[in-house]
Amino acid sequence: MTEMLASDKDKTRVNLPMPYGWFHVLYSHELEVGQSKPLNYFDQELVAFRTESGVAKVVDAYCPHMGAHLGYGVRSHSGTGAAVVGESIVCPFHGWQYNGEGQCTKIPYSAKVPPRIQRGEQVLGSWQVREMNQTIMVWYHPEGIAPLFEPELIPEAAADNDAWTAPHIVSRDIYTHMQEIGENAVDAAHFHFVHGTDEIPEVAAQVFDGHSMHGSLSTRQPTPRGVVDANIENRSVGPGLSHVWFTGICDTLLLASLTPVTKTHTRANYAYIQKKEALAGGNAKLGAALLANLDRQQAEDIIIWNRKKHYKRPLLCNADGAFMQFRRWYSQFLVE
């Protein structure tokens, strides 16, 4: 947990609406068959569960019967989420059951059920879920609009891809709006000042295309074998999902997900995978050093993010990069 700061209370520091898009809520391995878990994202209480047939579902947390929270079990399930039976989650309070589409599938103690339930109407809010790249994602739109794009499949990150390592996961709480964090991708100059790289990396490409964005940076990185040319390619799909390829030192892929907890509190989930071939021949230390270095860089960025103010019109100089293009692209995800 990042420390709470006096400046967190300053709501004028960053005032932007929550963006829409696909957002990470759990890694696949964090939700086993028959398991449920409470989630707190988008300023809401939610619950994720994995049905007996293995499908991940996300529904609103409060039971439509009398309002119990579905994410906290009792008796044999105390300390975990509520029970899952077949394709439904079981409310801990009176045992009503709900499927992932928010329909009530069973009231165990009443032969007669309310008309809405008899008609099969949805009585509990449910979320669009996608599971790929070892990640469970949900679609959030403040106005409840259906998905406008899809997350992308990353073949390297498939659970059964043996050529790549199991993910090394780092989760962090960051106390700012996620747009401020996303801006890092177009900010070449900060690498030298915040992260101590020898030179300011060169932006080789920066493309904004519909819901996605793609950038490429060339850097010179110090390694135990001397300074080498390294390349950083990043691709974002919406505001919540980015994939960053580091090549040149030891092929590493970062799946960087940002999910809003509130408008000014973002949870960052970083999963790193590395090409096993690149770690062979005594390169394991180099691979570990690269991860440690990237992890350190994120901690350094957070010192800035947790305290900086969002300026609508920053005083930019020529070499600052595509900030305003980035913000124009990002603004499509901000509806108020």
Contact present, 244 and 254 (Cβ < 8 Å): yes
Bridge partners of 244, per DSSP, are 234, 254
Enumerate residues 6+ apart whose C-beta is below 8 A from 282: none
SS3 content of the chain, % helix, strand, coil (to 5): 20, 35, 40
* Binding segment toward ligand FES, per CB under 6 A, in 11-19, 87-95, 140-148, 248-256: 87-95
* Binding segment toward Fe ion, per CB under 5 A, in 131-139, 149-157, 184-192, 201-209: 184-192
Query: DSSP character for 76?
Result: G
Nearer to ligand FES, 68 or 286 (CB): 68
270-309 footprint of Fe ion as x/- string (CB under 5 A): -------------------------------x--------
Chain-centroid distance, C-alpha 245? 17
* Residue 119 Cβ vs ligand FES, minimum distance, rounded to whole Å: 19
* Binding segment toward Fe ion, per CB under 5 A, in 106-114, 180-188, 236-244, 313-321: 180-188
Strand stretches in the chain, DSSP E:
21-27, 36-41, 44-50, 56-60, 84-85, 88-90, 97-99, 104-106, 126-127, 129-132, 135-140, 168-174, 202-209, 212-223, 226-237, 241-247, 252-262, 265-274
Does 180 help bind Fe ion (rule: CB under 5 A)? no
The full DSSP string for 178-220 is HHHHHGGGG--THHHHHH--SSPPEEEEEEEETTEEEEEEEEE
Show contacts with ligand FES in window 293-332 (CB under 6 A).
none
- Residue 184 binds which entry of Fe ion, ligand FES, none, CB below 5-8 Å type-dependent: Fe ion
* The binder of ligand FES chosen from 63, 89, 255, 279 (CB under 6 A): 63
- Residue 94 binds which entry of ligand FES, Fe ion, none, CB below 5-8 Å type-dependent: ligand FES
95-124 footprint of ligand FES as x/- string (CB under 6 A): -x----------------------------
Enumerate residues 6+ apart whose C-beta is below 8 A from 262: 18, 43
- Residue 230 binds which entry of ligand FES, Fe ion, none, CB below 5-8 Å type-dependent: none
CA distance 188 to 320: 7
Both tokens assigned to 52: 């007996």
The full DSSP string for 211-235 is TEEEEEEEEEEEETTEEEEEEEEEE
Does 66 help bind ligand FES (rule: CB under 6 A)? yes
* The binder of ligand FES chosen from 14, 18, 61, 91 (CB under 6 A): 91
39-78 footprint of Fe ion as x/- string (CB under 5 A): ----------------------------------------
Does 65 help bind ligand FES (rule: CB under 6 A)? yes
Query: DSSP character for 245?
Result: E
- Residue 66 binds which entry of Fe ion, ligand FES, none, CB below 5-8 Å type-dependent: ligand FES
Does 184 help bind Fe ion (rule: CB under 5 A)? yes
* The binder of ligand FES chosen from 7, 28, 93, 327 (CB under 6 A): 93
Does 94 help bind ligand FES (rule: CB under 6 A)? yes
Helix, strand, or coil here: 308?
A: coil
* Binding segment toward Fe ion, per CB under 5 A, in 18-26, 43-51, 176-184, 286-294: 176-184
Enumerate residues 6+ apart whose C-beta is below 8 A from 196: none
Residues contributing to the site for Fe ion (CB under 5 A):
184, 301
Residues contributing to the site for ligand FES (CB under 6 A):
63, 65-68, 91, 93-94, 96
